[in-house]
Structure 1
């Protein structure tokens, strides 16, 4: 398993190294100004310098993302469960879920600011909305893909609707559920950064805006790189939970 992982991971690692080397060489070869495109070495030095100042901004963003993502995940799972069990509600509500995703979040942002002010509430709502839809759709799809023969067999054995859901449909849908959660986790970090552009005192988005307004491009790249790292870590954490819960579920079934 480890050998296979090493064989798979060395290619993207090599690609990243080559890309960074090409970037470094190009900025030096063509004498590109730092405020236009800083070299990776300059960004790294800037990161070391601003890290103590940057940490409070990063922690503020992480707090918003965790709260918004948790709310979106909870509502998404609950909505998918409700739509799965009640066909008429699904036929009525599902089209509105699709339509809601055609409204850009940035368009709703001014209204949320008017309704809820400049605090954390509008940002949490935006993050929750971003996390909600992928989880709802993926979970509902997972429920509907349950093996019909197994459902028929359990009904013949006298299983109740609750037992069908808890013993068969929900465990069967776990891979789909975690697929939606992983997508939402990645989007939530970026959405949190963008949401902070709307007005905040701290956060990666605030740090990025201040750096961009003063043409301190290396700091903008520091914020971008940290946001990407946070997204990857969030994704990796969800992937770990996925392996744990699916393995645990299989052991329970066996």
Structure 2
């Protein structure tokens, strides 16, 4: 309990220090509001426009949740299948690495053209960003099962798929959630990049519109809400992890 309170106090202290530094930079350099608004101006914008910002935040949150769920499902499924068919995996993984090297800003306009300005293109963008860390970490976990455990299972008569389902899968769950923890703060990035390229709503859309009008307070207000969504999303993954990794001795 004391450690939790200390962690909260430390977090609040860091936030206050950053806000003070932010205010100091604005005052010392006398920056215009459209470049770097003062913290109080952003707080006022959050309060005055909370209904509008909250509605747009829900749009982005739906995209994040749908894209994260799809990316986690496809990433874990792909890693599992490639572990089940290792020869096929050796052929597919190089292609996946090449696809991973493509910048998201190059892919995003193509997705908007293919899937339109609605939620679909943002969900696909988020799915792509989430897929690679999940697939990579889970595949690594499946491949790194202790050789002594594998030999013992084979001596007991376990086949390839029995070994994969009953031993390698439970032991790899911590690596799967390691990938999910990496992907959680990246999921909002995927949604917002898609909204920057083309959208009719969402926090990325708010940022683009406000930036064009030089409304720095609105841009920073949307950024703060997006950061909060990313933190809460990561926390949700951390809270879920113990329920799925309790069978693993590495948890």
Quote the Cα distance in structure 2 between the aligned partners of 1:150 and 1:188.
35
1:173 to 2:172 alignment: yes
Equivalent residues in 2 for 1:159-238 (5 A)? 159-238=158-237
Q: Provide the residue aligned with 1:38 in structure 2.
A: 37
| Aligned pairs, number | 249
Q: CA deviation at 1:29?
A: 4.5
Quote the Cα distance in structure 2 between the aligned partners of 1:147 and 1:53.
53
Equivalent residues in 2 for 1:111-130 (5 A)? 111-130=110-129
Q: Provide the residue aligned with 1:72 in structure 2.
A: 71
Q: Provide the residue aligned with 1:148 in structure 2.
A: 147
Secondary structure at the residue paired with 2:186?
helix
Quote the Cα distance in structure 2 between the aligned partners of 1:201 and 1:241.
33
Output the aligned Cα RMSD: 1.8
Q: Provide the residue aligned with 2:243 in structure 1.
A: 244
Residue pair 2:84, 2:161 contacting (<8 A) in 1 also: no
Residue pair 1:56, 1:202 contacting (<8 A) in 2 also: no
Q: CA deviation at 1:196?
A: 0.5
Quote the Cα distance in structure 1 between the aligned partners of 2:50 and 2:10.
30
Quote the Cα distance in structure 2 between the aligned partners of 1:197 and 1:104.
15
TM-score, with normalisation over the residues of structure 1? 0.91
Q: CA deviation at 1:227?
A: 0.6
Quote the Cα distance in structure 2 between the aligned partners of 1:4 and 1:18.
21
Residue pair 1:34, 1:218 contacting (<8 A) in 2 also: yes
Quote the Cα distance in structure 2 between the aligned partners of 1:220 and 1:21.
19
TM-score, with normalisation over the residues of structure 2? 0.92
Q: CA deviation at 1:158?
A: 2.0
Residue pair 1:72, 1:131 contacting (<8 A) in 2 also: yes
- Alignment deviations for residues 112-149 of structure 1 (CA, whole Å, 9 cap, x no partner): 23323323222221111111111100000000111111
- Alignment deviations for residues 8-59 of structure 1 (CA, whole Å, 9 cap, x no partner): 5544542332121122233235433222211111111110111101122111
Quote the Cα distance in structure 1 between the aligned partners of 2:25 and 2:50.
26
Bigger mean CA offset, 31-40 vs 168-177: 31-40
Residue pair 1:43, 1:219 contacting (<8 A) in 2 also: yes
- Alignment deviations for residues 46-80 of structure 1 (CA, whole Å, 9 cap, x no partner): 10111101122111111111111111111111110
